[in-house]
Every structure is written in C-alpha cells, then in structure tokens.
Structure 1
Amino acid sequence: AFRKVFMNDFNIRNARIIDGSGGPVRQADLAIKDHRIVEIGQVGPAEIELDAAGNCLAPGLIDTHAHDDGAFLKHPDMTFKLSQGVTTVVNGNCGFSAIPMDNSAEGIKASGGILTGIESGFTDLEGYFKTVLARKPAINNMMLVGHNTVRSLVMGTQRRAPSDKELSTMAGHVEKAMEQGACGFSTGLIYRPGRYSETEEVIELARKAQPYGGLYTTHMRNEGDKLLEAIDEALTIGREANIHTHISHHKAAGKQNWGKVKSS
C-alpha cells in the first residue's frame, strides 16, 4: 500500500518563538526530525502537526539547584517542574545526594532525608539511574555526588578528620559516581557532618571529580559574619583542585553583613 513520506516527524506551527538568544520574539513554525530541531521559519509538512495558536515556544529551563533525587522515584511525571517550564534539573546539591547508598536506616539518613520512605534497592549512581529510568521520568536528571552523604556513610557524624583509609574510601565513592555519569561533587559545609571537615579533605575529594570535567558546587561554610572567609575557602578549593567552582547561595545573612556580597 502507498505510504506518504513526510519531510519532518513533528511540526509546531504558529508559535511565538523565544529562542534564548536574546533576540526579539518572532512568529514562526518549528520542525523536528529524529528528535532534533531541524528548521525554524516556514517548514515543510510533518507526520504530526500541532497548532500553537500563538502561544510561546521556548527551550526547556534548566534548574541547576534542585533536591529532587527522591522526587524522580515518587513523582516521575515531575509535573511540579514541567508546569514551570523546567525540563532538566541538577540534583545532589548541598552535599546531600541519593548516592552512594547502603539501604540501611543510616544509609537513608546519609542522603539528608531525600530518600525517606522510598524503597530503593540501588547502591550507586548506575543503579539509581536504572531505577529512575524504569519509572519513565518526564524530564532530565543530572546528578552531583554529595560530600555529606559520602562522609556519613564512611564516618557517620564523627567530629574529626578522616583517617587515610577513610579518606581513600570517600574518594573512591566520588570517583565511582563520576565514572558512572555524575556531573560533579557538591558540599554543604554549613551542615553536619560537612562542617566537621577541613579544607584539605574537600580539596582531595574535589580532585576526584576534576579529571571527568566535573563541577565543584558548594553551600558554603558561612553566609553571615564569616561570609568572606567562606568565599575564600571555596575559591581555594577550586584553585587547588583545578576544578570549575560554583557557589550555590551567594548572600549575606544578617543586617550587619549587608554589603559583603559586593565586597566579595
């Protein structure tokens, strides 16, 4: 039987396109083929045609600071993100991540509570991604490996420096996560047990993410009276580990500290 061949797989017509380039909004059609945008403007016929009726069409937003590790397991439709135009999130922030995991009560606690009430079964990032994908998530999920989680699994909440063996074990967790697709290493040095770590410990662990092109992202040790010292520490870690560094919350808490953000 005769089968009509279409130029495109999917067209969105009559859209007000905001492409993120900073240019003006324009009225146009958009064509998709093999899951890729192939043309914007006047486009040929497609197997599926959608009339946008003058509504806006824009690239999906990327939420670079999320704590949705567990939400992908509980709410894979991720409606609360999609309804805001978010199509990609970065999880594992502030030193707390779903991985590594040992499925004990203490292991769940190590995640900072983001896996509370969830029966996971996974222990590493590969297993986490497999579990998430089985639920057919509606949006993309990038993962950081969290310092607080790693430290809790290896040392609990002990207020001391790690032994050489403990530091090596922590480094192994970070390196394994990076090998399995993590986008970087995060800290929450204002929280327990991260606040018990010295700068050198963090540098050593951040170095394990660097060869993979990973990012070091931090909820700093202080956002108030010692904000400037905390920023100095973050920059020192970035320089010493030779890794791209992102400060998650750059603010000055407390009226007496107003103006310090500018100073920093």
Structure 2
Amino acid sequence: MNGPEIHIRFAPGPALFVPHHRRAGTTALRTDGVSTLGHVVESAGVPLTEAGTLLVDGRPVEPSHVPAAGEHIEVRAVTRPQRLPGAPLRFLLDVHLGTPARRLRLLGVDAAYESEDIGDPALATRSAAERRVLLSRDRGLLRRRELWAGAYVYSDRPEEQLRDVLGRFTPRLDPWTRCTACNGLLRAAGKEEVADRLEGGTRSGYEVFARCTACARVYWRGAHHEQLESIVAGAVAEFG
C-alpha cells in the first residue's frame, strides 16, 4: 500500500494471527487511505471476531473508522466473558468440531453441528438465519460478512476446545438434557415405552431411560457413563 502510515499494536490474543514481526510492540503499517480500520485489521490477518476494542490514539472507535496518517492503533483482545445481546446464546460448529459439539450438548448447551462439509457460504448463512455463534478454526470462514457472530477455537484438543468456549461465552449449563447425536431435547421415558429399541442385556440391566424428542434416540447410564460424568462434573465445577 502506498497511503498514510499508521502505528499499530496487537494485544496477545489477536497477535496470534499476525506475522511474527508484528506480534510484539508497535509496528508501522502503510494503508491505502480509504479502507476502514476493520479492513486493515483483517488484512493484517486478524478476524474481526477475535478483535476486541479498537483504540485510536487512546479513544475507542468503530471498525468503520478510516485511519489517518500518524494515528496510533491498538487492537485489544475480546473481553471474556463475551456478551452477545439480542438473541439466546446458541452455537453452530463446523465439520471439524464434532467432539466439542457433542460435549456442549452433553452439558445442555444448544449446539448445532454440520457433520458434512456444506461449504463456508452455507455455514455463514445458517449462522445469520438462526442467530447462532459460529465456532471454527477456519480464519477465512470467520471473516465472512454473512455471519451473525463467530469465534475462533484456539486449541486442537477437545478438552481445551470445550474450556475455551465455556470460558469465553459462559453459557448456562443444564447437563443431561440434550441429545448428543442431534441436539434435540431429552425427556424421561419408561422402560416399557422404549423396550422395542433395547437389546436384551440393556433391558435386563437398566431401569432409567431418557428419549430424544427429535430423533427418538434412547439413553441410559451405560458403560461410558462414568467418563461422561467426569466431563460434566469438571465443567460444572469450573463454569456452572
């Protein structure tokens, strides 16, 4: 770019997305003189979902601000917990985040999930239509203008991914109330009601069941319950 030069500083969170030479301290950046600060920040590599307050010479500005020569810009990290006014807190996870999607559902959090790659435009459109926070590790996806809201998931480990989302948004937890397969709500079900969907050992060994009101999947405290209970207990202890 051949326009005015500004001085920009990225907080540690947003700095993860910029080239190494811009990660520490204030660096000079030449703009075209007409692009907004939001565009400049994204051009530097930071999705706006990961940029918190934008400061120009110490005063907050909107992403629509057009930087002028000599301005000192500070890009702060998103404040945690992050509040999103205007809609119930619901999530949409992309195809690569199946495990955190199931764990969010285990905790009773409304978490839609695309098990197939339907493409970035369709995901962004669904986020807007259903007013869901899109969770992804795809920076390009999080830069799409159609998004209602989005957030980058920083870790590639499911345990840390779950903690990242819970710590950032602090959703209300209501464990054991959602289907981990389809996100539908669960209700208690009598043994006779679900007997035709149970194998012999399950029929004889368990008495308490729940059934999904959307897909009719049946749940009981089976072999993996102890592991699931540990996930729930840890999340409730830290974020409940």
TM-score (normalizing by structure 2): 0.31
The structure whose RCO (Cα within 8 Å, separation 6+) is larger is 2
Task: Report the TM-score, using the length of structure 1 for normalisation.
Answer: 0.29
Structure that is richer in strand per residue: 1
